[in-house]
Amino acid sequence: MYMLLRGQPAHTSVAIYSLHTTWGPRGRYTVFHLSLYTRQRQRTQRSLTKKPAPTHPHPLTHRSLLWSNNIRGQNSLERRSYLLRSLWAARVSVAFLQETHFQGLTGPMLRDQRFPLGFFANHKEAKRAVVAILFANHTPFTCTEEKADTLGRYLFLKGTIVDRQYTFASIYAPKTKQHNFISKTLRLLEQFREGILIGAGDLNLLIDPRVDTSKGRSSLPLSCLKATQAALRDAGLVDSWRVLHPDDRYFTYYSLVHHGYSCLDYILIAQEYLSLLQTSAILPVTWSDHSPMLTLLTSPPHKPKG
């Protein structure tokens, strides 16, 4: 739905990209989330090379802010622009995305001057699981190897930031036989990994049902949960948020089918690098149906050159 906005140029529009109904002191009311954008009359005049890339006044040179979210589709120009603005405002260094819904090699570009480097595991069919990893311009990542799932469910990157070796993984598990997928994917990741390992994504199951769901139990058989927990132990990966909040009950997703809250989204870090973990948070749900996850890591001391 679009409409002209009084007092703005004729080529400025307002898009209603989400709404919800809630209750207040005076009864029920509807909240509209609006966003302004200006449609360029000549898109050929827009060139990223003509403007210097924006920089933060105080970039995160000795720490990295990791962000992960199931974004439920980014084929809308307005949603992509809002996503990149939100990541930049939060000073995110590395963003792990799930369900971008980009189709094959023809998918839209999810990059700009602030996040010039992006990697994608696309699928030939639209509206299928597609994952991505974006890097901010203040994070000098150099990719040396990439491994992408043909179905778009995982993406592994290996490379360096300054002089440190990192492995990043964005994962989106299916809604059935999650434990089989996670076990297989983590075995592939173990063969691929090198250096500091960080994985993030929507696993579509509970690692610890006791605290990861409002009901205190899982709909999956206990054998599936134990298989997933064993796969994580074998890979040496731990839930960064749960390490800092062992007994807290906060959730990333509400299921209308099961009528309950669950924590399905995780940022995982190799256990030997837990000393780098500073803080972790679950943010409120905004334009997606999943809450974003944030984790702050300090960077290890750089090796002296020469």
Binding site for Mg(2+): residue ranges?
Answer: 202, 204, 289-290
| pTM score | 0.76
What does the alpha-carbon distance between residue 9 and residue 11 come to, in Å, rounded to a whole number? 5
Contact yes or no for 145/119 (Cβ under 8 A): no
pLDDT one digit per residue (tens) for the chain, 306 residues: 333 333 444 443 333 333 343 444 444 433 434 343 333 333 333 333 445 556 544 344 468 899 999 987 655 677 788 889 989 999 999 999 998 766 555 445 677 889 999 998 876 664 566 899 999 999 999 999 999 998 889 999 999 998 899 999 999 999 999 999 999 999 999 999 999 999 999 999 999 888 998 888 887 888 999 999 999 999 999 999 999 999 998 889 888 777 889 889 999 999 999 999 999 999 988 878 889 999 999 976 544 444
Q: How many CB atoms lie under 10 A from the CB of residue 189?
A: 20
How do strand 63-70 and strand 94-98 relate by DSSP bridges?
parallel
Phi-psi category of residue 166: left, alpha or beta, with phi > 0 → left and psi -120 to 50 → alpha: beta
Residue 155 near residue 147, CB atoms below 8 Å: yes
Annotated binding-site members: 202, 204, 289-290
Give CATH for domain 60-298: 3.60.10.10
Q: Is 104 left (phi over 0), alpha (psi -120 to 50) or beta?
A: left
Question: In terms of C-beta density within 10 A (0-12 exposed, 13-18 middle, 19 or more buried), how is residue 214 classed?
Answer: middle
Domain boundaries, given as residue ranges, for the chain: 2-40, 60-298
Of 287, 265, 269, 286, nearest in space to 278 by CA: 269
Closest CA to 211 of 243, 175, 242: 242
3-state secondary structure of 250: coil
Token pair of 178 as six digits: 């999650």
